[in-house]
């Protein structure tokens, strides 16, 4: 049951610092535990349930933030109270306004032993969208077991050595981490240099879980179209066209991305006729539809064309938008499997 603002200590009552801090902890909004089997409305059901309740809580938090807390002697206690109240306020202002969060992503199936991945998302700053875990990554991650037994079964046979997997644009790492755990092989997770610190942290935090399941991981910078230096990890990427499996989720946000991504895949994907690149692109609006079309043209224009061998539309969810907007969470995700034209 949601906490009522009227049941909390009011600033006019001059509560102790401990009482106020405890009240603010009660108002914490934890990140949702995502689950593709549950609707967006159900996922957010545990949070502030009515507009009236949200307004009451917002007014309460505002009163705490504005108060000078003159009856509290300890300045550190005052700073703690103002900081906690500000955090509670930001947690109710949508994902783009939130500070750092840590989410649990469950993987449950009758086909494999359940496991959880724990992923940290720093505050979103500027255009660093790689600091957020996008819903399509979870959609594709949940499909990996089935994909390993169908589209990629020729590469992931249980009776043979499984090839390393390259993930492009790993972001917070959810998809790559899930691939290492599910496919029980080495996965190299990559992104821009400025994303790497958080990505490396998430790799470290989930290493024990993944190694228990037979997977391993490495992480390093790989800037699409980069020219060395800190843009491309010199240890991980010494030879081009060495990966037989590449995975990518939610990679297209700008007009330059289709060409850059196609170029990165062309540079890294093996010329082996069995090599595959698996790409998921959410079709959120006319812009993403256009970017996908441009990406497919870029793939087909390579010297050794990369052709789409399989494609389908998968229903997915995302948490970008208002928590009470059920439609905002629905997104159709295009999934394509590419190979070299022989």
**Would you say 17 and 74 are in contact if contact means Cβ atoms under 8 Å apart?**
yes
Q: Block means of pLDDT (10 residues each) for the chain, length 342 residues?
A: 75 91 82 52 49 73 86 92 76 59 84 89 64 82 93 88 96 96 97 94 96 96 87 93 96 93 98 97 90 97 97 77 51 94 86
Burial degree of 169 (CB within 10 A; 0-12, 13-18, 19+): buried
How many other CB atoms are there within 10 angstroms of residue 293's CB atom? Answer: 11
Domain boundary among 30, 59, 93: 93
**Helix-helix angle 75-91:51-66, to 10 degrees:** 150
Q: Which residue is it, tokens 């037979």?
A: 214
d(CA 169, CA 191): 5
The pLDDT, as a whole number, for residue 337 is 98
The pLDDT, as a whole number, for residue 50 is 54
pTM of the model: 0.76
Between the alpha carbon of residue 8 and those of residues 61, 84, 114, the distances in Å are 11, 15, 39
The pLDDT, as a whole number, for residue 41 is 47
d(CA 33, CA 277): 29
State how many domains the chain has.
2
Tokens, residue 25: 């902890």
Three-state secondary-structure class, residue 126: coil
The pLDDT, as a whole number, for residue 158 is 79
Tokens, residue 136: 């399509």
Say whether both 223 and 116 belong to one domain.
yes
Say whether both 273 and 191 belong to one domain.
yes
The pLDDT, as a whole number, for residue 324 is 46
Say whether both 137 and 76 belong to one domain.
no
Domain boundary among 51, 73, 93: 93
Domain boundary among 37, 70, 93: 93
The pLDDT, as a whole number, for residue 266 is 98
b/e code 86-110 from CB counts within 10 Å (16+ = b): ebbbbbbeebeebeebebebebeee
- Residue 167: phi and psi, rounded to 5, are -105, 125
The pLDDT, as a whole number, for residue 296 is 97
Q: What CATH number corresponds to the domain at position 332?
A: 3.40.50.150
Enclosing domain of residue 131: 101-340
d(CA 91, CA 97): 7
């Amino acid at each position: 049951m949601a906490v009522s603002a009227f049941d909390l200590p009011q600033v006019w009552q001059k509560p102790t610092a401990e009482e106020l801090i405890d009240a603010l902890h009660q108002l914490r909004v934890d990140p949702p535990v995502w689950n593709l089997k549950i609707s967006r409305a159900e996922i957010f059901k545990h949070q502030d349930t009515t507009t009236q309740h949200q307004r009451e809580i917002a007014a309460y938090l505002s009163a705490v933030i504005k108060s000078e807390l003159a009856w509290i002697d300890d300045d550190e206690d005052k700073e703690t109270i103002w900081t906690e109240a500000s955090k509670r306020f930001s947690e109710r202002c949508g994902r783009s306004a939130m500070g750092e969060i840590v989410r649990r992503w469950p993987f449950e199936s009758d086909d494999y032993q359940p496991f959880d991945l724990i992923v940290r998302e720093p505050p979103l700053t500027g255009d660093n969208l790689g600091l957020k875990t996008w819903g399509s990554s979870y959609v594709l991650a949940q499909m990996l077991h089935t994909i390993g037994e169908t589209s990629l079964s020729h590469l992931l046979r249980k009776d043979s050595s499984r090839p390393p997997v390259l993930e492009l644009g790993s972001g917070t790492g959810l998809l790559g981490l899930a691939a290492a755990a599910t496919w029980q092989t080495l996965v190299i997770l990559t992104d821009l240099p400025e994303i790497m610190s958080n990505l490396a942290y998430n790799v470290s935090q989930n290493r024990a879980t993944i190694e228990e399941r037979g997977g391993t991981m490495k992480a390093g910078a790989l800037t699409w179209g980069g020219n060395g230096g800190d843009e491309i990890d010199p240890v991980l990427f010494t030879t081009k066209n060495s990966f037989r499996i590449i995975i990518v989720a939610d990679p297209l946000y700008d007009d330059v991305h289709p060409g850059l991504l196609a170029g990165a895949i062309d540079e890294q994907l093996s010329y082996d006729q069995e090599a595959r690149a698996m790409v998921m692109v959410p079709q959120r609006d006319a812009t993403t539809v256009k970017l996908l079309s441009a990406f497919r043209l870029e793939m087909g224009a390579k010297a050794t064309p990369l052709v789409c061998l399989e494609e389908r539309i998968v229903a997915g969810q995302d948490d970008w938008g208002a928590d009470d907007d059920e439609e905002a969470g629905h997104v159709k995700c295009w999934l394509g499997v590419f190979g070299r034209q022989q």
